[in-house]
Amino acid sequence: MSPGTRSPHRLVTHGLLGLGLAWACASSAAAQGERRFDELEGVEIEQHLEAELPLMALFEDEEGQALELGELFGDVPVILTLNYVDCPQLCSMQLSQLAEAMAAMDLSLGVDYRVITISIEPKDTPARLAEMRDRYVGDFLDLSRDGAIERDAAAATAGWSVLRGTREDIDRVAVTVGFGYRELPVKGGRTDYAHQATNILCSPGGVVSRYLPGVSADMSDTLRLSLIDAGEGKIGSLFENAFLYCFIYDSSTGQYTPAVWRLLRAAAALTVIAVASGIFFMKRGDAQRGPSEEGVPAANANEGEQRS
């Protein structure tokens, strides 16, 4: 074998080295992912079934009216969410999908149930809270019309309250329902928060009945049945779901990014690298063997035939 010829064993060795490099890159990506998830330490949702909401907590609604939380309870079950106006992505995803699920139900917002959204940002103004409410109530009404369901627009608007409060009163609710969040440093003076997303079903008396994922492809049936159970004072079981732990906050882009998509992209890239490396080394080996070496077996075979 000529000095420049690569044996199959050496090609295998190079292939293994290429795979080793790929695994090293994968380990590095995994380590970066772990560091990203460390950013969400303490940001989780603990399901506090049967917890009683602090109904004496003071808030201000989107009309600028001061009220106690308990004033919004008493007659119908409630869907409670915790969000904020300037959330880069996650809150709009949650509330848009909630409006979509509600539009597909035969229950009427403002009549059979109500929605309370509490902003975790004390600086959100009533005017901006009103814009937030009008946006998602509008989505709810439009989607209902698309489904040939007529809604009472006035009842729907009155049935979705968006509140702001002091940090103390916000945290009284958040701690009660197990909603973990924390402030994130963002350039430009804007405040952002690391948080997850969940829809919390509460009884008319303000008792936590069930947790549903904040982002779900189709939860209209589950939401409807959960509201009926909450209206009857029934307590559901723990929901086995990571909620939105597959989403992590990327402070460099100011967005919540699906970590799963990142991992899939990384895995695909590593696969391409490994395959490309294998093809490269195989072709390089074939080129270095050259046509003379490829013809040697045939020549030896002809020589054997002549001798026979």
Average pLDDT on 77-87 reads 96
The predicted pLDDT at position 38 comes to: 56
**Spatial separation of the C-alpha atoms in residues 263 and 284, rounded to whole Å:** 31
Average pLDDT on 225-251 reads 68
Per residue in 160-188, pLDDT (tens digit) is 999 999 999 999 999 999 999 988 877 66
Instruction: Give the Å distances, CA to CA, from 213 to 35, 164, 233.
Output: 25, 23, 20
Q: Is residue 100 part of a domain?
A: yes
- Do 35 and 82 fall into the same domain? no
pLDDT confidence band for 31 (50 / 70 / 90): very low
The predicted pLDDT at position 43 comes to: 83
The predicted pLDDT at position 288 comes to: 63
Give the domain range for residue 34: 1-40+245-291
**Spatial separation of the C-alpha atoms in residues 69 and 57, rounded to whole Å:** 6
Of 244, 276, 303, the residue at which a domain comes to its end is 244
- Do 24 and 117 fall into the same domain? no
Q: Is residue 101 part of a domain?
A: yes
Looking at the predicted structure, is the pLDDT value of residue 12 above 50? no
Of all residues in the chain, what percent carry a pLDDT higher than 70? 62
The predicted pLDDT at position 63 comes to: 94
The predicted pLDDT at position 284 comes to: 64
Q: Is residue 299 part of a domain?
A: no
pLDDT confidence band for 89 (50 / 70 / 90): confident
As a whole number of angstroms, the longest Cα–Cα distance in the chain is 108
The predicted pLDDT at position 235 comes to: 87
The predicted pLDDT at position 279 comes to: 67
The predicted pLDDT at position 218 comes to: 80
Number of domains in the chain: 2
Average pLDDT on 22-36 reads 44
Q: Is residue 49 part of a domain?
A: no
The predicted pLDDT at position 259 comes to: 45
Average pLDDT on 2-12 reads 48
CA angle 192-197-200, nearest 5°?
Answer: 130
Least confident interval from 56-65, 68-77, 255-264: 255-264
Buried residues in 248-264 as b, exposed as e (16+ CB within 10 A): bbbeeebebbebeebee
- Do 135 and 253 fall into the same domain? no
- Do 230 and 283 fall into the same domain? no
- Do 111 and 73 fall into the same domain? yes
- Do 145 and 227 fall into the same domain? yes
- Do 32 and 76 fall into the same domain? no
- Do 98 and 239 fall into the same domain? yes
- Do 166 and 270 fall into the same domain? no
Q: Is residue 159 part of a domain?
A: yes
Looking at the predicted structure, is the pLDDT value of residue 143 above 90? yes
- Do 99 and 207 fall into the same domain? yes
**Spatial separation of the C-alpha atoms in residues 102 and 144, rounded to whole Å:** 9
Q: Is residue 217 part of a domain?
A: yes
Per residue in 241-273, pLDDT (tens digit) is 444 443 444 445 444 454 444 444 555 555 556
pTM: 0.69
- Do 240 and 251 fall into the same domain? no
**Spatial separation of the C-alpha atoms in residues 40 and 84, rounded to whole Å:** 18
Least confident interval from 46-50, 108-112, 196-200, 252-256: 252-256
Q: Is residue 211 part of a domain?
A: yes
Buried residues in 192-227 as b, exposed as e (16+ CB within 10 A): bbbbbbbbbbbbbebbbbbbbbbbbeebbebbbebb
Query: Is residue 229 a contact partner of residue 209, using CB atoms and an 8 Å limit?
Result: yes
CATH number at residue 221: 3.40.30.10
* Of the candidates 111, 197, 126, 191, the residue with the CA atom closest to the CA atom of residue 163: 126
Q: Is residue 46 part of a domain?
A: no
Of 218, 244, 270, the residue at which a domain comes to its end is 244
Q: How far is CA 207 from the centre of its chain?
A: 26
The predicted pLDDT at position 186 comes to: 73
- Do 229 and 261 fall into the same domain? no
**Spatial separation of the C-alpha atoms in residues 98 and 115, rounded to whole Å:** 10
Per residue in 97-126, pLDDT (tens digit) is 999 999 999 999 999 999 999 999 999 999
